Structure 1
Amino acid sequence: MEKLNIKFLLRAHTIVGLFCIFLFYISSYFGSLTFFLPYISYWELPSKHIEKTVDYGFNIDNKLDEIINKYKLDDKNIEIIPPSFKDPRIKISTKDQSSIYLNPNTNEELDTFYEYTNVSEFFNELHFGENIPVIGQFLMGLASIGVLFLIFSAILLFLFNKKKIKEEKKSDKRFWIKWHKNLGLLVIPFLLIFALTGAFIGVMLFSSKPFVLSATDNKETNLRKVVAPIIFKQNELVKKSENIIEPLSLSLLQAFAKTNYENLVITNINIYNYKKDNSQTMFSGYLYDNRAITGNVNRVNIVLNSIDGTVFSKTNLEETHGIKKALSIFYFLHFMPDETFLIRVLFFILGLSLCVSLAFGYMIWAQKKLHNIGDFKWVNFLNRIILTIIFGSITCSSFLFFIHYLILNSFLEKDLIMKGMFYSLFFLLLLYSFWENKISRIIKINLYLSSFFFFFSIFIHGFQTNIFIWNSFIKNVDVVFYVDLVLISVSLILFVISKKIDLNFLSNFDYRRI
C-alpha cells in the first residue's frame, strides 16, 4: 500500500511539475532578475548617472522656491522624494503636474525627457504574467499553487524514499536526481514565501473581480479602489491661507523629525500650504529596525509645524490597522521594497537555484521518456520548447540590454519595438531548436548569443551616454560601474561555459530517426 501511495504521489508531483515548468520557470527566472530592478533602472536612465551622494543634507530651500515659481506648482501639497538606493535623484512633484528631478550634489535640474525604464518594467511584466492579456496573472497564480503542491509532495517523497535513495547505486540519471532534490529542498523556505504570496497576487486578486463588480453595481473591477479608502486613511489637506511667512529650512525640519522619531528612514516629504502661516511638513518612511511592518502599505510619519518645528502628529505603530500590518508584511516578503544589496543577492541566488532545480526535474522525466520508442517524437518536440524557455530566457533578456541603448529614446513606441524584437528573437530561437538535431549546439548558440549581447551592451551604453565603464569608476558613479562590471562578468562566464560544452553533451536528447 505504501509503495502504491508513493507511486501515485510521484506521478502527481511529475504532472504538476511539467505544468509549472512552462510558467513558473519564466516567473522564477525573471522574478530573480527583478531583485535587481533598482540597479537596472540606474543603468537604463542617463539622468541617474550621477556621482554617489554620501550624505544628503536636504539643502534645497532656495531651489525649491525657484522651481515652484518657474513651473507654477500648486503649493497645497508639494511632494519631495529624497535620494535613496533606488534612485539617486531628488524628485519634486505636485498632483496632476510633471515631476522635476534634481542632482542632489548640485541641485541642478536633470533632463528626463524620453527616459523610460523599458527593460526593468518588461522584466516585471514577464514575472507577473502581465504580458499575457487578461489571464496571464491568473495563470502565474495557478502555477504558484502548483508549486505549493510540489513543495509538500517533495517533502513527503523525501521522507518516504529516504532509505531507498541511500541504497540506490550510481546511474546515468543520478546527477539530475541528486541536484533536483538537493536544490529543491534548499530553496523550500524561500519558495514557500514566494509561492504563497504569488498565489495570493495571481489568483485571489484576479478572482475578486466578480465580487467587486457585484458590490459596486458593475461600476468597478479593481479591488484596491474599493478597499483602499477604508484601510488607508487619506491625509486631509490643510485649510487655505493667504498669510505668507518664511518656514524653517527643510534640513532643520528634517533634523527635528529624526530627533522626535528615532530609526525613521525618510522616503517621502510632503509640504502642505508652502510658505503660509499654517504650513505643515510631513516626513514619512519606514523604521530601520522594523522594515517588514512599516513597508510600502504601512508607512509611518511625523507631521511638523513648518514655522517652528513643533510636532502636530506622529504615527503610533501599535495603533495602525491590523490589515495594514499584515499587507505590509505580505508585500515585504514578496517585493522587499526597502532591502538593499546583500539580501537581494541572496534571494537572487536562491531564485536561480530554483530555476536549476526545475530544469533538472524536467531532465529526469525527459530522459526516462526518451528510452520509450513510442514517446520519443512528442517528448523530443517538448524538449525543444523547454530548452528554448530555459536558455532562450537568458538570450532574450540579454538582448533587451543590448537594444535598450541601440534604439534611440526618441523613437515613438520604443517599448513596443523592444517587446516585439524580444518575442521575435524567442520565436527564431524556437525555430532553430527544431531545425538543429544536436541539443548541445542549441545550448551553445544560446550561450554564445547571450555572451555577445551582454558584452556589447555596455559599449553601446557607453557610446550613447558618454559614460563607459572606466568613466563610471573614475567619476564614482558606482551603481552604473557595478552593473557594467556584472554584465561583463556574466558575459565571460557564459562564453567560457559555452566553450566547455562538448558536442556529445546530452547526446541522449539529440533527435534521431527511429
Structure 2
Amino acid sequence: MEKLNIKYLIRGHTIIGLFCISLFYISAYFGSLIFFLPYISYWELPSKHIQKSVDYGFNIDDKLDEIVSSYHLSDKNIEIVPPSFKDPRIKISTKNQSSIYLNPNNNEVLDTFYERDNVSEFFNELHFGENIPKVGRFLMGVASIGVLFLILSAILLFVFNKKRTKKEKKSHRRFWIKWHKNLGLLIIPFLFIFVITGAFIGVMLFTSKPYVLNATQNKETNLRKVVAPIIFKQKELLKNSENIVEPLKLSQLYRLAKVNYENLVVKNINIYNYKKDNSQVLFSGYLSDNRAITGEVNRISIVLNSYDGTVFSKTNLDDTHGIKKSLSLFYFLHFLPDETILIRIIFFVFGIALCVSLAFGYLIWAQKKLNDNNSFIWSNFLNRVVLTIIIGSITCSSILFFTHYLIPNEFIHKDLFMKGIFYIMFFSLLMYSFYENMISKVIKINLYMSSLLLFTAVFLHGIKTDIFIWDSFINKMDVVFYVDLILLIISGTIFYFAKKIKPTFLYKFDYEKELKC
C-alpha cells in the first residue's frame, strides 16, 4: 500500500509539475529579475544618472515657488517625492498635471519627456502574466496553486521515499534528482511565501469580478476601485483661502515631523493650500523599525501646520485597521518595497535556485520519456519547447537590455517594438531548436548570443548617454556603475559556461539518439 501511495504521489507531483513548468518558470525567472527593478530603472532612464547625494536636506524651498508659478501647479495639493534608493530625483506633481523632476544636487529641472522604463515594466508584465490578455494573471495564479501541491508532495516524498532514492546509482539523472530535491526543499519557506501571495494576486483578484459587478450593480469590475476609497481613505482637500502667509521651510517642517516620529522614513510630502493661512503639510512614509506593517498600503503619516509647525494629526500604528496591516504585510512579502540591496540579493539567489530546481525536475521526467517510443513525438516536441523557455528566457531578456538603447527614445512606439523583438527572438530560438539536432549546440548558441547582447548593451548605454562605465565610477554614479559592472560580469559568466559545454552535453536529447530508441 505504501509503495502504491508513493507511486501515485510521484505521478501527481510529475503531472502538476509539467503543467507548472512553463508558466511558473517564466514567473520565477522574471520575478527574480524584478527584485532589482529599482536598479534596472536607474540604468534605463538617463535622468536618473545623478551623482550620489551625500546628505539630501529638502533643499527645494528656494526652487518650489519658481516651479509652482512656472508650471502653473494647483496649490490645492502639491505632492513631493524626495530622493530614495529607488529614484535619486525629486518628483513634484499635482493632480491632472505632468510631473516635474529635479536633480537634488542643484535643483536643475530634468528632461524626462521621452523616457520610459520599458525593460523593467516588461519584466514585471511577464512575471505577473499580464502579457497574456485577459487570463494571464489568472493562469499565473493557478500555477501558484499548483506549486502549493508540489511543495506538499515534495515534503511527503522526502519523508516516505528516502530509502528508494538512496539505492539510485551515480548518473546524470541521480545528480538531477539530488539537486532538484535539495534546492526545492531548501527554498520551501521562500517559495511558500511567494506562491501564497501569487495565488492571491492571480486567482482571488481575477475571480472577484462577479462579486464586484453584483455589489456595484454592473457598473464596476475592478475590486481596487471599490475597496480603495474605504480602506485607503485620502486626506480631504482644505477649504479655499485668499490670505497669503509665508510658511516655514520644508526642511524645518521635516525636522519637526521627525521629532514626533523618530523612526519615520519620509516617502511622500503633500502640501495642501500652499502659502495660504490654513496651509498644512502631510509627511508620510514607513517606520524603519517596522517596514512590513507600515509598507505601501499602510503608510504612517503626520500633518503639520505650515507656518508654525503645530501637529494637526498623527497616525498611530496601533489604531490602523487590521486589514491594512495584513495587506501591508502581504505586499511587503511579495514586493519588498522598502528593502534595499542585501535582502534583494538573498531573494534573487533563492529565485534562481527555484529556476534550477524546476529545470532539473523537468530533465528527470524528460530523460525517462526518451525510452518510450509511444510518446516520442510528444516528448521531443515538449523537450524543445521547455528547453527554449528555460535557456531562451536568458537570451530574450538580454535582447531587451540591448534594444533599449539601440532604439531611440524619441520613437513613439519604442515599447511595442521592444516587445515585438522579444517575441520574434523567442519564436526564432524555438524554430532553431526544432531544426538543430544537437541540444548542446542549441544551448551554446543561446548562451553566446546572451553574452554578446549584454556586453554590447553596456557599451550602447555608454554611447547613448555619454556615460561609460568608467565615467559612472569616476563621477560616483554608484547604481549606474554597478548595473553596468554586473551586466558585464553576467556576460562573462555566461560566455564561460558556453565555452565549457561539450558536444556530449545532454546528448540523449538529440534527434539521432532519440530515433535510435
TM-score above 0.5, yes or no: yes
User: Are 1:430 and 2:430 matched, yes or no?
Assistant: yes
Quote the residue 2:3 is aligned against.
3
Q: Whole-Å Cα distance in 2 between the matches of residues 492 and 170 of structure 1? A: 31
Deviation at 1:233, TM superposition (A): 1.9
Deviation at 1:54, TM superposition (A): 1.5
Secondary structure of residue in 2 paired with 1:291: coil
Dislocated runs of 4+, deviation >6 Å: none
Q: State how 1:56-455 maps to structure 2 within 5 Å.
A: 56-455=56-455
Q: Give structure 2 stretches of 5+ with no counterpart.
A: none
Secondary structure of residue in 2 paired with 1:87: coil
Quote the residue 1:466 is aligned against.
466
**Per-residue Cα deviation, 1:466-504 (whole angstroms, up to 9, x for no partner):** 000000000001100000000000000000100000011
Larger displacement relative to structure 2 (235-244 or 465-474): 235-244
**Per-residue Cα deviation, 1:298-322 (whole angstroms, up to 9, x for no partner):** 0000101110111111101000011
Secondary structure of residue in 2 paired with 1:332: helix
| Equivalent AA in structure 2 for residue 159 of structure 1 | V
Q: Whole-Å Cα distance in 2 between the matches of residues 127 and 233 of structure 1? A: 30
Deviation at 1:376, TM superposition (A): 2.3
Q: Whole-Å Cα distance in 1 between the matches of residues 187 and 440 of structure 2? A: 28
Deviation at 1:168, TM superposition (A): 3.4
Q: Whole-Å Cα distance in 2 between the matches of residues 490 and 87 of structure 1? A: 24
Q: Whole-Å Cα distance in 2 between the matches of residues 117 and 318 of structure 1? A: 38
Q: Whole-Å Cα distance in 2 between the matches of residues 272 and 196 of structure 1? A: 40
**Per-residue Cα deviation, 1:187-240 (whole angstroms, up to 9, x for no partner):** 100000000000000000000001111111110000011111121222111111
TM-score under structure 2 normalisation?
A: 0.99
Deviation at 1:377, TM superposition (A): 2.6
CA RMSD of aligned residues (A): 0.8
Deviation at 1:262, TM superposition (A): 1.2
Q: Whole-Å Cα distance in 2 between the matches of residues 509 and 377 of structure 1? A: 12
| Equivalent AA in structure 2 for residue 31 of structure 1 | G
| Equivalent AA in structure 2 for residue 219 of structure 1 | K
Secondary structure of residue in 1 paired with 2:374: coil
Q: Whole-Å Cα distance in 1 between the matches of residues 157 and 262 of structure 2? A: 49
Q: How many residues align?
A: 514
Q: Whole-Å Cα distance in 2 between the matches of residues 178 and 443 of structure 1? A: 23
Secondary structure of residue in 2 paired with 1:35: helix
Q: Whole-Å Cα distance in 1 between the matches of residues 165 and 177 of structure 2? A: 10
Deviation at 1:170, TM superposition (A): 2.4
**Per-residue Cα deviation, 1:268-313 (whole angstroms, up to 9, x for no partner):** 0000111111111110000000000000000000101110111111
Quote the residue 1:38 is aligned against.
38
**Per-residue Cα deviation, 1:133-162 (whole angstroms, up to 9, x for no partner):** 000000000000000000000000000012
**Per-residue Cα deviation, 1:376-395 (whole angstroms, up to 9, x for no partner):** 23211111000110011000
Q: Give structure 1 stretches of 5+ with no counterpart.
A: none
Q: Whole-Å Cα distance in 1 between the matches of residues 33 and 483 of structure 2? A: 13
Q: Whole-Å Cα distance in 2 between the matches of residues 171 and 434 of structure 1? A: 27
Q: Whole-Å Cα distance in 2 between the matches of residues 217 and 309 of structure 1? A: 46
Deviation at 1:163, TM superposition (A): 2.6
| Equivalent AA in structure 1 for residue 223 of structure 2 | L
| Equivalent AA in structure 2 for residue 297 of structure 1 | V
| Equivalent AA in structure 2 for residue 511 of structure 1 | Y
**Per-residue Cα deviation, 1:319-364 (whole angstroms, up to 9, x for no partner):** 0011000000000000010000000000000000000000000000
Give percent identity, aligned residues only: 75
Secondary structure of residue in 1 paired with 2:18: helix
| Equivalent AA in structure 1 for residue 429 of structure 2 | L
TM-score under structure 1 normalisation?
A: 0.99
Q: Whole-Å Cα distance in 2 between the matches of residues 319 and 357 of structure 1? A: 44
Quote the residue 1:480 is aligned against.
480
Secondary structure of residue in 2 paired with 1:405: helix
Secondary structure of residue in 2 paired with 1:36: helix
Q: Whole-Å Cα distance in 2 between the matches of residues 115 and 86 of structure 1? A: 16
Q: Whole-Å Cα distance in 2 between the matches of residues 78 and 444 of structure 1? A: 54
Quote the residue 2:20 is aligned against.
20
